[in-house]
Amino acid sequence: MISPTVFFVAIVSSMLINNVVLMRFLGVCPFLGVSKKTESALGMSLAVMFVMVISSILTYLVYHLVLEPFGIEYIFIIAFILIIASLVQLVEMAIKKFSKKLYKGLGIYLPLIVTNCAILGVAESNIRDGLASEYGFGGGLQVAIVTAFGAALGFALIMFAFSSIRERLDHANVPESWKGVPVSLVTAGIMALAFLGLGGIV
């Protein structure tokens, strides 16, 4: 039985301290590309959350039940990318069917979730951290799910905060040469510095 503290530490650590976007610099493409509007940012965060959690479960199972027993761990990146790509196809299908507005808002970034390295990064770190050897197969899976959920929540938090700031910046008196991407990158840098202050809590 895993202590609830482990889950708490996993979720806080992956959400705030090791935030995928601002601390590990993964998933920066959708972070900058789909953060113009809060609605699109939240839609993207939900899609990423779904793909991240499900892909973490599947990749964990595939790694420990197929790749490791047969000694073919070396193909894990190919296998993980294909699993993530399949999940993205399912998500795209669901969004096409149920939310036309979100489908248009996400645009090219929806299929590009496949290349969102945050998802592959979280799946890979779950394996690299040796959760199965530390907590057992079932326990490791639970911690992997919580870690992936925390990372997705951290991604959603940053997307929401950044899109809100960008919406405000649209109406701010920004110098002409700083408008658009330059001021967005400076804002992202300041946010990353703020998150750096959370390091060492856990």
Partner 1 sequence: MEPFIAIITVAVIITIYLGTYMLNKKVPAPYEKIDTETCSACTNYACGVKQQFSEER
Whole-number minimum distance, CB 34 to partner 1, in Å? 8
Backbone angles phi, psi at 104, to 5 degrees: -70, -40
Report how far residue 175's alpha carbon sits from residue 42's, in angstroms, rounded to the nearest whole number: 28
Nearest residue (CB) to partner 1, 86 versus 187: 86
Which residue from 101, 130, 164, 178 is in contact with partner 1, where contact means CB under 8 A?
A: 101
Pair 49, 55: CB distance under 8 Å: no
Task: Taking the CA atoms of 122, 128, 130 and 132 in sequence, report the sign of the dihedral they define.
Answer: positive
Nearest residue (CB) to partner 1, 107 versus 138: 107
Report how far residue 66's alpha carbon sits from residue 60's, in angstroms, rounded to the nearest whole number: 10
Nearest residue (CB) to partner 1, 1 versus 70: 70
Q: Does residue 202 interact with partner 1 by CB under 8 A?
A: no
Pair 23, 189: CB distance under 8 Å: no
Binding to partner 1, residues 103-142 (CB under 8 A): 103-109
Report how far residue 29's alpha carbon sits from residue 128's, in angstroms, rounded to the nearest whole number: 24
Whole-number minimum distance, CB 134 to partner 1, in Å? 26
Q: Does residue 86 interact with partner 1 by CB under 8 A?
A: yes
Q: Which residues bind partner 1 (CB under 8 A)?
A: 33, 36-37, 40, 66-67, 70-72, 74-75, 78-79, 82-83, 85-87, 89-90, 92-93, 96-97, 100-101, 103-109
